[in-house]
Amino acid sequence: MQNSRNLILVFAGILIVLVVIAITSGLNSSKKTHKNLINVSDYAQSDVAVRVTTEGSINANEDHQSSVVTIARGTRSVEFYKTYNNELAGGQSFENNQASFEQLVYALQKAGYSTQTNSQQDDERGYCPTGFRYIYEIVDGDKVIMRTWSDSCGDKDRTFGGNASLVRQLMRSQIPNYSSLSQAAFAKAQ
């Protein structure tokens, strides 16, 4: 009887150790699934721009819509496009300043703007066909310094590892009356 009890305690102890190891390795592996590509705040004093592109659902060419919000030290802009050929439907530019850009860049860093998943799927085309695809970039003129993507369908192949909804909210909030501008541009395009 005593041996049976000791045997049960030994097995219970081994089981507890295995559970702890499994949990610990699971936590460690989830921490390793994201990496910072760069430190976005390092660019606060530079001439780079941060850009978020929203691609609409995959539909008829005439119905396709997309938007691009670009923020740099001196300017903030939004452009709205129709069709897959990116015909300009509307947009607006605003002045910006160093202090505003710096605050945005630091907020983007905290939101994980440059955090990338381990996915090797750099091409977002075809993913989330009935939802939205979002492309996050840091650009210096024509040179793309960083490019990641996510979508509204939650695809596991996405490369963006930050807080996607917060980043999009931060970017759109840099454009006064973003929603009204979007509605006006696409209403005019119809």
What's the whole-number mean pLDDT along residues 54-64? 95
Please, are residues 161 and 148 in contact by the beta-carbon 8 Å criterion?
A: yes
User: Range with the lowest mean pLDDT among 11-15, 109-113, 138-142, 172-176?
Assistant: 11-15
Q: With cut-offs at 50, 70 and 90, classify the pLDDT of residue 31.
A: very low
Cα–Cα dist 47/67, whole Å: 22
- pLDDT at residue 87, as a whole number: 94
Q: 160-174 pLDDT, tens per residue?
A: 999 999 999 999 999
Q: 117-158 pLDDT, tens per residue?
A: 888 777 788 899 999 999 999 999 999 999 999 999 987 888
- Per-position DSSP letters for 62-88, written without gaps between them: GG-EEEEEEEESSEEEEEEEETTTTEE
- pLDDT at residue 102, as a whole number: 95
* The model scores a pTM over 0.85: no
- pLDDT at residue 108, as a whole number: 96
Residue 58 has pLDDT above 50, yes or no: yes
Cα–Cα dist 24/31, whole Å: 11
What's the whole-number mean pLDDT along residues 27-46? 66
DSSP 31: H
- What residues contact residue 153 under an 8 Å CB cut-off, 6+ apart? 127, 128, 130, 131
What's the whole-number mean pLDDT along residues 78-95? 95
Residue 6 has pLDDT above 80, yes or no: no
- pLDDT at residue 19, as a whole number: 57
